[in-house]
Structure 1
Amino acid sequence: MATDKNRTLRGPVLVRNDGGQQDSTYDQRLLELGSDHDWQHADPWRILRIQSEFVSGFDALSSLPKAVTVFGSARLNEGTPEYGQGVAVGKGLTEAGYAVITGGGPGLMEAGNRGASEADGLSVGLGIELPHEQSLNTWVDLGINFRYFFARKTMFLKYSQAFVALPGGFGTMDELFEVLCMVQTGKITNFPIVLVGTEFWGGLVDWMRERMLAMGLISDGDLDLFLVTDSPEETVRYIVDKHQTMTDGRLRD
């Protein structure tokens, strides 16, 4: 049975009328009112901005050949042993036929890009907006800068077939454990993961074994998801060998 409540349509939404009358329509407010920049920070607009980051990333990287992502600290610069390892890893991956992807910043990210660029390979940088301004390093051939970490992480996962972690801080740990979690849970193919720097990573791996594994928080095979080494050559060889048995179609290129 119909009620005597007054209702009205406002755009696609039917609402109960409180007795008042609209002063203007949506069209009128769009065309006649001045700019109110608060809308740039509203959640509906953020959704469109997030969507645009995914579209830009997918568009720019859609034709990327097989690739390996190299993670590492922004704070270890040229002149450190780790930087030299990063350059060697980037060069070795390029010579093995891979594009090299990094976070696009300075330090060990730059090292990976530099090694790829100096070997005439494809050097990719996926940067991120940070409170302290950070631009893409000069060794990047194809670069995208993101506002949102989760959009950037998706690009690392979607367009890489292996992951190398050089020494780093919280950001590197975040990226490493994200990849380990995705591989462990089967969300992505069991792509090879290499930790470069036995002295740096050894304590963490021991803790995983003595705490996580001993308490049953991870399985025996989970510690076999990655290789720990000091050798850029072994890093590349391990990735190439693992890819011989993987089914990702991009690895056949």
Structure 2
Amino acid sequence: MHKIKNIAIFGGADIPEESDLYKEVFAVAKLLGEKGYTIVDGGGPGVMLAATQGAVAGGGKTLAVTFDPKNAPGFEGRYVKNQTDQEIKTTNYIDRMYTLMENSDCYVIFKGGTGTISEFGTAWCLARLYYGHHKPFILYGNFWHEIIDVFYKHLQMRNNERDVFKIVGTPEEVIAAIDSFEFEAEQNAKAHFHQDLGEEKAFML
């Protein structure tokens, strides 16, 4: 029985629909939808819209976790074109991010800006805290190799912190990474997926 059912897609909101990145996100989400996964995103434009549209094209289900603040011109908010099967409305940015993670079993992280950095860092931190029962994530794009190498060169990183993610470059490699995570869970007495913890918010202030 598959433990990974819902997959969150993170990435930049300022990605034009004609860009190569948008098309890549669409292709990944479409393939995931065809495989029966539910796609979870933040309900905004850019990577989030591409994720929803791709999932729909692949016949998959979609869930948006939204936050639409006032007086925050630097935040994308709810995007009217991003129409999903279900929507969870949250009251602040942190709650939105953790709700996205709570409602997902695995994350695919694309290129983005500071918001994506916060999501990437939180996903990695939670994976370390719950190591052995963690939710794995996938970094999409070969540029991530350089970023991770810089972290390990200049920061205090544990060796096993590389075990919680995989770096891929094609939609097919995303599927292969998910299959690998599932296989690792089956082989590990301490499954690599938190099944009943539901504790992301335990680390919120």
Output the TM-score relative to the length of structure 2: 0.80
Q: Where do 1:1-253 residues align within 5 Å?
A: 66-130=5-69, 131-132=72-73, 134-136=77-79, 137-186=81-130, 189-199=133-143, 201-212=144-155, 217-246=156-185, 247=191
What is the deviation of 1:126?
1.0
Ranked by relative contact order (alpha carbons within 8 Å, sequence separation 6 or more), the top structure is 2
Give 3-state SS (helix, strand or coil) of 1:101's partner.
strand
Which amino acid in the other structure matches residue 192 of structure 1?
Answer: P
CA contact (8 A) 2:66 2:90 kept: yes
Q: Is the 8 A contact 1:117 1:139 kept in 2?
A: no
Instruction: Determine the C-alpha separation between the residues in 2 that align with 1:235 and 1:104.
Output: 22
More helix per residue: 1
The SS at the match of 1:69 is strand
2:124 maps to amino acid:
L
Letter in 1 for 2:146: G
Structure 2 CA distance for partners of 1:159 and 1:244, relative to 1, 3 Å:
farther
Instruction: Give the Cα separation in 2 of the matches to 1:120 and 1:96.
Output: 9
One-letter identity of the residue aligned with 1:228: I
8 Å CA contact 2:136–2:165 kept in 1: the answer is: yes
Q: CA deviation at 1:163?
A: 0.5
Q: CA RMSD in A?
A: 2.1
1:119-140 superposed Cα distances (whole Å, 9 cap, x missing partner): 1211111122242363233342
Q: Deviations over 1:63-87 (max 9, x none)?
A: xx92000001000121111101110
Q: In 2, Cα distance between the equivalents of 1:70 and 1:189?
A: 20
Which is higher, the Rg of structure 1 or of structure 2?
Answer: 1
| Structure 1 residue 224: Cα displacement | 2.7
- Matching residue's letter, 1:76: I
| Structure 2 stretches lacking a partner, 5+ long | 186-190, 197-205
Question: How far did 1:218 drift?
Answer: 1.4
Q: Distance in 2 between matches of 1:66 and 1:227?
A: 18
Deviations 1:32-55 (A, max 9, x none): xxxxxxxxxxxxxxxxxxxxxxxx
Task: Give the distance between the partners of 2:182 and 2:93, measured in 1 at CA.
Answer: 28
The amino acid that maps onto 1:116 is A
Q: Distance in 2 between matches of 1:245 and 1:227?
A: 13
Task: Measure the CA separation in 1 of the matches of 2:113 and 2:122.
Answer: 14
CA distance in 2, matches of 1:240, 1:161: 13
State the AA in 2 paired with 1:99.
Answer: T
